[in-house]
Amino acid sequence: MSSVFPLRFRRLSESSLVFANEAGQFFKSNDRFLERLDNEKLTKSDQEFLFDHAMASRRAGDINEMSYLHRLASRLRPPTDLSYVILVPTLRCDLACSYCQVSRAAINAKGFDWSDETLLNVKSYLSKSVSKRIQVEFQGGEPTLRLDLMSQIMDFCREHFEESRFIICTNLSVVNEAFVDIISAEDVFVSSSLDGSPDLHRKQRTNTKSQTDEFFKNFSRVGELIGDRLSALPTLDSKNLPAPSDFLDTFDHYNMRSVFLRPVVYHGFARKRHPTSKDHQSVWQKFYEACIYEMIARNIGETSDFYEEYYLTLILKRLLRPGEDNHIDLRSPNWLGYDHQLIDYDGRIYPSDEARMMARTGQVDLSIGDVFAGLDEEKRGALQGRAFNALDPWCSQCPYQAACGSDPIDDLARHGRADVPKPATAYCQKHLHIFDFAMKLIYSEDKKNQHSLALWLGLPSPIFLGDVLQ
């Protein structure tokens, strides 16, 4: 007789359910197995299946118990030192996008840039908080309005840390020689926004034809200069979605086949101008799946340059690989304000980009200190209570809990409080959809799907990724 590590389950279809334990090991089975499990009447072959797949142990300290505990522990990383910093050297911007996520300041506004004193304190704060490696993301506003500040931070980091990496998030409306000079360094990456076809991009962002043309000209030029150090994120409006095929064509045109599909986020200015965006989930989900299937259809044949959706690949890795926890929107425990922080134009420190948006729109002040006085440990500590999804009464029943994450700041931003029942949150709904969809692909017998899964996970050949108990 063996003891089974506790299982949670969820229906995948009329005839199938997914079962998983807290360490994230999963398999597909049916209602008959659920009944046997419920009545504690597992057959010999049920028990053998569970033992062979290391989901039950025969005695304390045996190999299966060790593997279960190890997986569990790998998913519970302790907090680490600050290593990912978003810096906002200025809040000013030269565009006025309809769904801007931050409260931007006008191009000529005063008092929205780092002062000399702020810059000095940012440097000393970083040297105290970062140990060896740093990744800096410059955000805005439009950070390229202050190339001088960016340069100084880059020089400082390269000198002080063993390894530095910089990402400039820019609208690319202006590309001058000083900018070209900065991005020529191999440790500098450029992330821009590309919403799809020029027409769509103009409607959502650049407004005029001349600004749109200028953006596409700059985008191509930077692509030629730095190759795959340039990436682009689309922001998609579920009221105005492109055809998946046209959308992928645009990205393919710029050699970008790895795309991060995100709908407009219900934050900041976007919240005021697009009040219906939270009701468009099913429209969005349909579009999302259509895009993935279009990618799969294009991935046929041997190719090293394949299409993938960044977040789906991340979800697949989280399902299959304990310890894959580098993405701060999808991890638990989500140690807020530890390894990842944002330093705003005024020197205030936030646990994430979203947290500063809420402060700017006056919802709630989630700052956890500033670069002058340092961290406010008490405020940071207060955020941890809901950062651990295993302690949530809803999540702890969900088979995807181990692979999923927790984002109390997102819950706060969208629902005004962090203790809404999980199934009612946008975070939960979005993730349940992607996890269910990932399961559908994992258990699909269609060779095309299996081929793409292998590409996304870096496998030499397609294999069965999910076990089935008949």
Partner 1 sequence: MIELSLPANFSDSSHLPFIAKLSRIDGHQTATLVGEIGDELMFQFQDLTISIVQPVGEDIIGDIVFVEPAYNRVSRWIRERSDHNTLLVTERCDQLCIMCSQPPKKSHIDMFTFMEQACMLAPQNMMIGFSGGEPLLYKEQLFALLEKVHTVRPDLKFHVLTNAQHFEEDDVERLRQTAFKSVLWGVPLYASDPSTHDSIVGKIGAFEQLVTSLPIMARAGLQIELRSVLLKQNYHEFEQLSRFISSKLPFVSVWAIMQLERIGFAKNRWFEQFVDHSENSEPLMAAVSVAKSVGLDISLYNIPYCTVPQKLRGFLSQSISDWKRSFPADCEKCSVKSICTGFFEWHSTLEDYKYGGVI
How far is the C-alpha of 12 from the C-alpha of 239, rounded, in Å? 28
Q: What DSSP character marks residue 202? A: I
Contact between 321 and partner 1 (CB under 8 A)?
yes
How many residues would you count in the chain? Answer: 470
How far is the C-alpha of 117 from the C-alpha of 347, rounded, in Å? 10
Q: Select the residue interacting with partner 1 from 32, 70, 440, 447 (CB under 8 A).
A: 70
Contact between 78 and partner 1 (CB under 8 A)?
no
Kindly state the number of chain residues that form the binding site for partner 1, as judged by CB under 8 A: 29
Contact between 324 and partner 1 (CB under 8 A)?
yes
Residue 317 or 431: the one with the smaller Cβ distance to partner 1 is 317
| Minimum CB–partner distance for residue 391 and partner 1 (Å) | 24
Look up residue 432 and give its two tokens.
Answer: 């349940």
Contact between 79 and partner 1 (CB under 8 A)?
no
- Quick one: which segment of 41-49, 52-60, 84-92, 216-224 binds partner 1 (CB under 8 A)? 52-60
Q: Hey, what amino acid is at 266?
A: Y
Contact between 176 and partner 1 (CB under 8 A)?
no
- Quick one: which segment of 58-66, 210-218, 396-404, 409-417 binds partner 1 (CB under 8 A)? 58-66
How far is the C-alpha of 5 from the C-alpha of 60, rounded, in Å? 12
Q: How far is CA 289 from CA 28, 219, 280, 434, 444, in A?
A: 21, 28, 14, 9, 14
| Minimum CB–partner distance for residue 60 and partner 1 (Å) | 10
Q: Which helix (H) or strand (E) holds 231?
A: strand 230-233
| Minimum CB–partner distance for residue 59 and partner 1 (Å) | 10
Contact between 317 and partner 1 (CB under 8 A)?
yes
Q: Select the residue interacting with partner 1 from 185, 297, 320, 364 (CB under 8 A).
A: 320
Q: Select the residue interacting with partner 1 from 67, 152, 258, 429 (CB under 8 A).
A: 67
Spell out the alpha helix ranges (H) of 112-262.
Answer: 116-129, 147-160, 177-183, 198-201, 209-226, 244-253
Q: Select the residue interacting with partner 1 from 54, 91, 167, 342 (CB under 8 A).
A: 54
Contact between 82 and partner 1 (CB under 8 A)?
no
Residue 106 or 459: the one with the smaller Cβ distance to partner 1 is 459
Contact between 74 and partner 1 (CB under 8 A)?
yes
| Minimum CB–partner distance for residue 49 and partner 1 (Å) | 11
Instruction: State CA 350 to chain mean position distance.
Output: 17
The closest of 317, 293, 311, 324 to 459, measured between CA atoms, is 317
Contact between 61 and partner 1 (CB under 8 A)?
yes
Q: Coil, helix or strand for 167?
A: strand
Contact between 290 and partner 1 (CB under 8 A)?
no
Contact between 393 and partner 1 (CB under 8 A)?
no
The closest of 225, 219, 294, 301 to 253, measured between CA atoms, is 219
Q: Select the residue interacting with partner 1 from 76, 174, 454, 469 (CB under 8 A).
A: 454
- Quick one: which segment of 69-77, 166-174, 278-286, 419-427 binds partner 1 (CB under 8 A)? 69-77
Residue 61 or 227: the one with the smaller Cβ distance to partner 1 is 61
The closest of 414, 410, 381, 408 to 392, measured between CA atoms, is 408
Residue 180 or 459: the one with the smaller Cβ distance to partner 1 is 459
| DSSP symbols for 45-56 | HHHHHHHHTTSE
Contact between 465 and partner 1 (CB under 8 A)?
yes
Q: Which residues contact 211 (CB under 8 A, 6 or more apart)?
A: 95, 173, 202
Q: Select the residue interacting with partner 1 from 283, 373, 391, 463 (CB under 8 A).
A: 463
The closest of 138, 216, 220, 141 to 182, measured between CA atoms, is 138
Residue 196 or 405: the one with the smaller Cβ distance to partner 1 is 405
| Minimum CB–partner distance for residue 158 and partner 1 (Å) | 25
How far is the C-alpha of 397 from the C-alpha of 301, rounded, in Å? 40
Contact between 322 and partner 1 (CB under 8 A)?
yes
Contact between 431 and partner 1 (CB under 8 A)?
no
How far is the C-alpha of 79 from the C-alpha of 320, rounded, in Å? 22
Residue 283 or 459: the one with the smaller Cβ distance to partner 1 is 459
Residue 8 or 71: the one with the smaller Cβ distance to partner 1 is 71
| DSSP symbols for 368-431 | -EETTTEE-HHHHHHTGGGS-GGGSTTGGG-TTTTT----HHHHHHHHSSS-S-GGGSHHHHHH
Contact between 458 and partner 1 (CB under 8 A)?
yes
Contact between 323 and partner 1 (CB under 8 A)?
yes
Q: Report phi then psi at 232, rounded to 5.
A: -140, 140
Q: Beta strand pairing status for 130-138 and 163-169? A: parallel
Contact between 327 and partner 1 (CB under 8 A)?
no
Interacting residues with partner 1 (CB under 8 A): 25, 52-54, 61-67, 70-71, 74, 317, 320-324, 454, 457-463, 465
